[in-house]
Structure 1
Amino acid sequence: MPNCRIDSVAAAIAYMEAHLTEDLTLDQVAAAVHYSKYYLHRMFTNTVGMTVHDYLQRRRLTEAAKLLVFSGQSILDIALLAGYESQQAFTDVFTAMYKMPPNQYRENEKFYPLQLQFTFKGNYPMLKDEECAQWEVEFATEADIPCWMELVRLVVDGFPYLEEDSYVQTLRQRIRTRQALLLKDGETAAGVMLFSCDTGSIDFMGTHLLYRKKGVPRAFLDKVMGELLKGKEISITTYREGDRADTGHRREIQELGFAEAELLVEFGYPTQRFVLPREDIHDE
């Protein structure tokens, strides 16, 4: 049953969050939630799209980033709290994921999360459907902002350098101009999309972890290609190839039919633009 699986993953997450500064292993987490490590690994990865190890690493680096900006602790002490045996080992991984070394990140004084704690709220009625959900894409309203932001925090791994205050300002503007689309399952935002009528760009597209196999991105693309951006070149940006911070977003965009375009730097972060070829649009 979906709810049983969700409850089990939530229990594993709660245990990991309570022991983030400890030297946790998959065996320990599995024992704490009373599953074999093989079953937990498969269930966790299939549900949230990353392994227990990756979740732990990303959460620890996020908490380390927070300490770099908001505390006076030394980088060595922060490295040890994050589970690294040396400052150099911590620096290597932090730089690979955040695209700057810890000392530079501290000097910038701007915290943004690599991974926030996964939380699952709601009943998720569509998850009980064996068939693919028949989604009704809607324009978001001001009343949808709370559930929209819950989803944004859940899928923050796909969007480097997210600053909530500026994001909400942009969201409000896009809601007013009817350039914010939403898919809901009850009171839960299953998918969100910000797009630009002027440029044809998809500026933000996120799918709730539990709905990754329910055709959410395709429903959005059908809407914008068939009605809202008809005749325009549609583009989106994501991680560059080989970026260790990417949890699979680049692959998902390619599977939707987007083709590689130019390399970019956005908010100081290296990204790549992808374009949906015109022939793919006509084939839909």
Structure 2
Amino acid sequence: MTGCKVESIAAAVEYIESHLDEKVDLKLVADAVHYSKYHLHRVFSGTVGLTIHNYTQRRRLTEAAKLLVFSKKPIMEIALEAGYESQQAFTDAFTAMYKRPPRRYREGERFYPLQLPFHPGENVSVPRGAAAWEIAYALEKDIPCWMELVRQVIGGFPHLYEEEYLPVLREQIRRRQALILKDGVAAAGILLFSREMNSIGFFGVHPFYRNLGVPEALLDRVLEELGRDCEVSITTYREGDRADTGQRRAIMALGFAEAELLVEYGYPTQRFVLKQGGAFGGKSPADGSSSGL
């Protein structure tokens, strides 16, 4: 990831954010930020993990969800602001992502973001290659950079409410069940786990570091904590869920296998298990295989 690529992504995001209520497509964004469509599509989707179209749709639906909860605007008006020509088209798209139609979501009176604006973070450097990553137990002082990364990868975790997440994070830090990999003062990778349940509760890697061995290094470290002879579990989206930005594929690339279907906090998910000898799909952390975490 070069500084030029970071600048092009930042410029594209800035344009999209200032035109969420207008027609936005790859050509318009590319012309506005003075990059070719090919270049912008390649660096944006390769880093953010979403095409310009999908990113824009998720941002619009997130802002629509916010309006449903915090305003009294009619649903048709919200639909038009989100770029949909009919309430039915908006309802179909919203339901596919949020798993309930707009009216029911409004009645629930709880907002959670599907996609927050992507930005590298002012403290994130441009990594220049794989390194001997140092993973440590997170400390209270790490919470700000931890949460900055959570907001960047929140699309991989349905129904994540910060007000509920923070007390859990603090407790896991106190129990030394929160791992962090930092590059300078920024968090490149974070992982919450439970020794009691042999499970991973949260596994996030900054997009800039996904192909540099960080997911594999974090998984290797948590296996040291839990024991390499035990079965480790994690849950994520079910197959075919349109809200999934690649979390499911990334987990399977690390060697996790499908297990039972679940419903967590009212959201349909699936449990995955990593059995002894299954880590990294037969690869070692040094292989630096690609991950969408």
TM-score (norm 2): 0.93
Residue matched to 1:235: 233
Runs (5+) with no aligned partner, structure 1 = none
Q: How far apart, CA to CA, are the structure 1 residues paired with 2:106 and 2:123?
A: 40
SS at 2:172 equivalent: helix
State the 1:133 CA deviation: 2.0
- Are 2:193 and 2:200, in contact at CA under 8 Å, matched by a contact in 1? yes
Name which of structure 1's ranges 165-174 and 271-280 shifts more when overlaid on structure 2. Answer: 271-280
3-state DSSP class of the match of 2:120? coil
Task: List aligned pairs for 1:139-154, cutoff 5 A.
Answer: 139-154=137-152
Give the whole-Å Cα distance in 2 for the aligned partners of 1:12 and 1:281: 36
Instruction: Please show how residues 255-266 of structure 1 align to structure 2 within 5 Å.
Output: 255-266=253-264
Q: Distance in 1 between matches of 2:279 and 2:28?
A: 48
Task: Tell me if structure 1 keeps the 8 A contact 2:121–2:148.
Answer: no
* Structure 1: distance between partners of 2:162 and 2:121: 20
Task: Identify if the C-alpha distance between structure 1 residues 150 and 123 changes in structure 2 by more than 3 Å, giving closer, same or farther.
Answer: closer
Distance in 1 (alpha carbons) for counterparts of 2:62 and 2:222? 34
> Structure 1 CA distance, aligned partners of 2:203 and 2:47?
19
| Aligned partner letter, 1:17 | E
* Mapped pair 1:91 → 2:91: yes
RMSD: 1.5
Deviations 1:160-203 (Å, cap 9, x if unpaired)?
Answer: 00110110000000000000000000011000000000011100
The alpha carbon displacement at 1:233 in A equals: 1.2
Q: Percent same amino acid among aligned pairs?
A: 62
Deviation per residue, 1:55-87 (Å, 9 max, x gap): 000000000000000000000000000000000
- Aligned equivalents of 2:259, 2:8: Cα separation in 1: 41
Contact 2:256–2:279 (CA under 8 A) maintained in structure 1 = no
Instruction: Tell me how far apart the structure 2 counterparts of residues 107 and 122 of structure 1 sit (CA, whole Å).
Output: 37
The amino acid that maps onto 1:201 is S
Which residue is equivalent to 1:190?
Answer: 188
Counterparts of 1:31-110 in structure 2, within 5 Å, are 31-110=31-110
Q: Secondary structure at the match of 2:189?
A: strand
TM-score norm. by structure 1 comes to 0.96
* Residues 34 and 48 (structure 1), Cα distance of their counterparts in 2 relative to 1, 3 Å cut: same
Distance in 2 separating the partners of 1:51 and 1:281 = 29
Q: Aligned equivalents of 1:245 and 1:134: distance in 2?
A: 33
Runs of 5+ unmatched residues, structure 2: 285-293
- Aligned equivalents of 2:131, 2:68: Cα separation in 1: 43
Match of 2:28 in 1: 28
In the alignment, structure 1 residue 6 sits paired with structure 2 residue 6: yes
Q: Which amino acid is 1:200 matched to?
A: N
C-alpha contact (below 8 Å) 1:138/1:181 kept by paired residues? yes
Amino acid at match of 2:143: I
Residue 124 of structure 1 and its aligned partner are, at CA, apart by 4.4
Q: Which residue of 1 aligns with 2:198?
A: 200
Shift of residue 226, structure 1, vs aligned partner: 2.5
Deviations 1:117-153 (A, max 9, x none): 0122246456123xx2211110000000000000000
Structure 1 partner of 2:288: none
Is the CA contact 2:198–2:226 (under 8 Å) kept in the aligned structure 1? no
Is contact 1:192-1:207 (8 Å) kept? Answer: yes
Which stretch of the first structure deviates more once superposed, 120-129 or 255-264?
120-129
- The residue identity in structure 2 corresponding to 1:3 is G
1:245 equivalent in structure 2? 243
Residue 237 of structure 2 contacts residue 268 of structure 2 at CA under 8 Å; is this kept in 1?
A: yes
